[in-house]
Amino acid sequence: MTNPAPDLIAPDLVTRPDLYIDGHWVQATGNGTLDVLDPATESLIGSVPNGTTDDVDRAARAARAAFDSWSRLSPRERGEWIRRIADAIDSRADEFAELISREVGVPLAQSRAIQVTLAIGDLAVMPEAIDEVAWEERIGNSLVLREPIGVVGAITPWNYPLHQVTAKVAGALAAGCTVVVKPSEIAPLSIFLLADAIDEIGLPNGVFNLVSGDGIITGEALVSHPDIDMVSFTGSTRAGRRISEIAAAAAKPVSMELGGKSASVILDDADLEEAVAVSLSKCYQNAGQTCNALTRLLVPRAKLGAAEAVAATAAATYRVGPPFDSDSTMGPLASADQKRRVLDYIARGIADGARVVAGGTETTDSLTHGYFVAPTVFSDVTADMAIAQEEIFGPVAVLIPFDDEDEAVELANDSEYGLGGAVWSGDTDRALHVARRIRTGQISINGGAYNSRAPFGGFKSSGHGREGGRFGIEEFLTYKSLQL
């Protein structure tokens, strides 16, 4: 095991005492702070303000004041500002990657290649996507306009902290909206760095505002504030339902991307080894803390034994360790609560009769601190088990057998969620036919790559609304009809 650089073992604390409101770093109105812990060492790495309702009020008012001038810029002018934000992140990509690895625990190389690259892509596609939007059209004697919905409150999670913010900010700003962002209290530091980058390029005051804080006080204040016209949320289904309740009282639209329990359907003519190995890589990315992770592998019953062998071999190739160790291919979970949750699900799976094919226990070895869990695979899983139905949000995959194509589709749809999925077949047309029958927002065909210009979002309890490309812009637009 190689040793990380000394300056990454015990870096200085990242203390951010101010909030970013109306184009300035300003002191929070309260004295409370939120500590940020390193999930690999359980040590303190920084702190941010615990924003108050007064802080939310200042930010929302600033965004409201900036809305008129920002919305009156041409779409292409807004697109140029968004391009500058993308360039600003790119110029500091290594700094962003290191900070995200420290607060989330993802291995450094993956942080750079996935976490930061996704964020840049969210923004970089917008200038082109802006030209794909029908900003106005004639329908009979009507001129139909598409206009920004107003001030957007964006509440984001910790698993992809930068990407989850840029996915919302990119579409909202391109539409002509102004935003107030409340990042997760678990991993907020990279969003303060984003605010630094936005400040440096001189984005007009009030267009982007940042208020950190907890969900109960700061988050709910943002959702209920009268100057917030729309809420965009990514997080748990439970929190999404609460936000919907608050927003409904004021008839505010809400776009939300919630949980997932995505199925990878491996048909009998697929390359089994490739399908299982790639599906597990999508399950274990970010230590399984990915909303559209492929956590249910549906395999032909006759090939279940072979799938178990491939899965066990694939899981054994992962090296669980600290994010700045160059040998690590999987880092820790993000928090003690998350680790406890995942281990509880593993224990429940065993108690329910599922058989452990790989992992199944907490990773200890020489890792005396940190929230590490081994990559785990279960077999002998039935569709009614908790590990087959509930989102675990950790490196846990289940193998579920099927007898024919119809049963595979039925199992894939047997979930309250519908966010991601995959279909594998030696016949692309057959895979597409099966994919059309699955009720989920995105489906990868034979390993098809993520596309930042395509719509991202879910069906059922996975939420509603879309992010990405022109679809992410249109989410923040409303219609106006002028009768001539």
pLDDT of residue 322: 95
What topology is assigned to 262-451 in CATH? Aldehyde Dehydrogenase; Chain A, domain 2 (3.40.309)
Q: What is the pLDDT of residue 363?
A: 63
Which residues does the chain have with pLDDT short of 50? 1-10
**Domain residue spans in the chain?**
6-258+463-483, 262-451
Task: Quickly count: other Cβ atoms within 10 Å of residue 107's Cβ.
Answer: 25
Residue 98 identity (one-letter amino acid): E
Token pair belonging to 53: 């309702």
* pLDDT at site 10: 44
By the 8 A CB rule, do 181 and 208 touch? yes
DSSP code per residue over 266-282: E-TTS-HHHHHHHHHHH
For residue 365, what pLDDT is reported? 60
Q: Which residues of 78-94 are buried (b: 16+ CB within 10 A; e: fewer)?
A: bbebbebbbebbbebbe
Q: Are 46 and 33 in contact (CB under 8 A)?
A: no
Residue closest to 233 by CA, chosen among 463, 63, 392, 64: 463
Q: Known catalytic residues? A: 257
| 358 neighbors 311 (Cβ within 8 angstroms) | yes
What is the pTM assigned to this prediction? 0.95
* DSSP symbol at 449: P
**From the CB of residue 446, how many other CB atoms can be counted at a distance below 10 Å?**
18
Query: Taking Cα atoms as reference points, which of 182, 159, 166 lies closest to residue 118?
Result: 166
* Assigned architecture for domain 6-258+463-483: 3-Layer(aba) Sandwich (3.40)
Q: What share of the chain is helix, strand, coil (3-state, %, to 5)?
A: 40, 20, 35
